[in-house]
Amino acid sequence: MNVLLVEDDLIAQMGVRKIVTKTNQKVHLTVTNNGQEAIDFLDSQQNPDLVMLDLNMPVMGGIEFLRNVRQNQRWSDLVVVVLTTSDYEEEVRKCWDIGIQGYFVKDIDYGKHVENVKTIVNYWSESKKFTTI
């Protein structure tokens, strides 16, 4: 499974890298530091199976990234799960309205955070995409 992590915090990046290795899934993780880098990556690569997205980043934040992704036909069905520190209701609602597949708040309890990331990776690894014929 190819996962794109859009996260500016180096410690959070290292944490997700470490957690992903603890799943039972074969994961290739690519990390970008902001939404613009993620857009550039998507422009130059095949779509990943999953995007894990932080919201609060420099250059281009998560909500702006989401808007760009959902307005581009090529990426309209990209699986995006938000993984952020923000539980601000307005941001959560905006993300769902734009079109995400999940929203997780980074938990202060590291054990819970580990379980959340593993749940995201395991679920989307096992989930099958169906297309209409």
Residue 6 or residue 120, greater confidence: 6
Indicate if the pLDDT at residue 133 is higher than 80: no
Mean pLDDT, residues 113-130 taken together:
80
Of 74, 65, 29, 25, which is closest to residue 47 (Cα–Cα)? 74
pLDDT interval class at 131 (50, 70, 90): very low
In whole angstroms, how far apart are CA 37 and each of 2, 53, 114? 17, 12, 25
Strand-pair partners of 30:
4
Does 42 score more than 90 pLDDT? Answer: yes
- Residue 18: pLDDT over 80: yes
